[in-house]
Amino acid sequence: MQVDTFEITTKVVFGQDALDYIKNFQDEKVFIVTDPFMVKSGMINKITAYLGSNQYEIFSDIVPDPPMELVVKGVEAVTEFKPNCMIALGGGSAIDAAKAIMDFSRKIGRLEAMKFIAIPTTSGTGSEVTSFAVITDKEKGIKYPLVSNSLLPDVAILEPELVKSVPSSIVADTGMDVLTHALEAYVSTNATDFSDALAEKSVELVFEYLKRSYESADDIEAKEKMHNASCLAGLAFNLASLGINHAIAHNIGGKLHVPHGRTNALLLPYVIEFNADIEGYTPSHYTKAAKKYAYLAKLIGLEGANTRSSVRNLINEIIKLQKEMKMPTTLRECKISAEDLNKSREDIIKGALEDACLITNPRKATHGDILEILHKID
């Protein structure tokens, strides 16, 4: 019999005024990893204001899909400054880059005791509580996932005030990323009772609060709940891993540069359909994934007459949410030309078949299966 473990390594500080946690710092040398917008917009001041007399240095070179060269530059800056604390401030790219910088710096610069704090400014990746990071090889157009418990932050600070200024289109993209994380973790072959509990709560929060968060920048309750949903989904997939949705999305992102959350949203209805694997109108047998999707539909008040109709209700609700948030439903609507897609299609499929996320997908996928899913979004 297999023995599993459940452990949450990262301390999570959440709710309004969560940033007060930084006030506890005394005699720290703090290295802050962030992007140029956080400096330009003054968002960084919300962090430095709490640092008082603590010495700090800001590394604000982070770009979307951070390349390896940037990580090397960051490691050089850290080993020169020799901090005893690193703060990552930003979205998934900033936190992913900081994880890689932190991990290499601890090893190369002998800074093993350096604390690592992640402060997300979008509600999407859940990167603040996961042992994953994605670094890009720009030349090859390949995203490399790094997976190690040494990448886990010591502390995650979920401050809803920091996500109030996020544009509504980004709220939509990142919110659908949360939903994809939760749904993929939920039907993963590595799912457990513990990861399921985290995923279920995340899904409930998304359907209750994402549209509200999209519609109003000042709805602080919705912002806080979506921040929590993102973190819960991160904890879920850190335990259970992901699936075919992310396997394909990683490669579309690497080749065609469509934002990650948006790509996940395009794929999600068709991935649920594929994983549920329901044949005909009155099947005598349902897959485990189909039953789990149906249970989620019931959880959010969309139970149908049977498993098949419950799964369809869940898919339709996701499509409805996408439409209400004015999200694109095809790659063409994301301004990807047929020519570019045709040129990249085989590489996307090959990359998806080799992606580590595919291992825990509930249904085995072939070249033809992925091609069929891609045709539905082109």
118-167 tens-digit pLDDT: 999 999 999 999 998 988 887 877 777 788 999 999 999 999 999 999 99
Instruction: Report pLDDT for 282.
Output: 74
Architecture of domain 168-377: Up-down Bundle (1.20)
Q: Where are the alpha helices (DSSP H) in 133-219?
A: 168-187, 193-215
Lowest mean pLDDT among 132-141, 228-237, 344-353: 132-141
Task: Average the pLDDT over 163-174 and give the result.
Answer: 96
Domain ranges of the chain: 11-163, 168-377
Q: Using DSSP, how many helices (H) and how many strands (E) does the chain show?
A: 13, 8
> Average pLDDT of the chain?
94
> What is the pTM assigned to this prediction?
0.94
pLDDT at 113: 86
> Would you state the pLDDT for residue 3?
83
Domain 11-163 grouped into CATH 3.40.50.1970:
yes
Contact status, residue 355 vs residue 254, Cβ threshold 8 Å:
no
Measured CA to CA, the distance from residue 297 to residue 317 in angstroms comes to 9
The whole-number pLDDT of residue 1 equals 64
Instruction: Of 106, 25, 98, give the one whose Cα is nearest residue 58.
Output: 98
Q: What angle do CA 166, 169, 171 make, to 5 degrees?
A: 50
Q: Which residues contact 47 (CB under 8 A, 6 or more apart)?
A: 19, 22, 32, 87, 89, 119
Nearest to 203 by CA among 227, 172, 229, 222: 229
What distance in Å separates the CA atoms of residue 366 and residue 110, rounded to the nearest whole number? 45
DSSP lists the bridge partners of residue 137 as 142
Half-sphere exposure of 360 (CA within 13 A, CB side): 21
User: In this predicted model, what pLDDT tens digit does every residue of 45-73 receive, in sequence order?
Assistant: 999 999 988 999 999 999 988 898 999 99
Whose CA is closest to 244, among 373, 126, 341, 130? 373
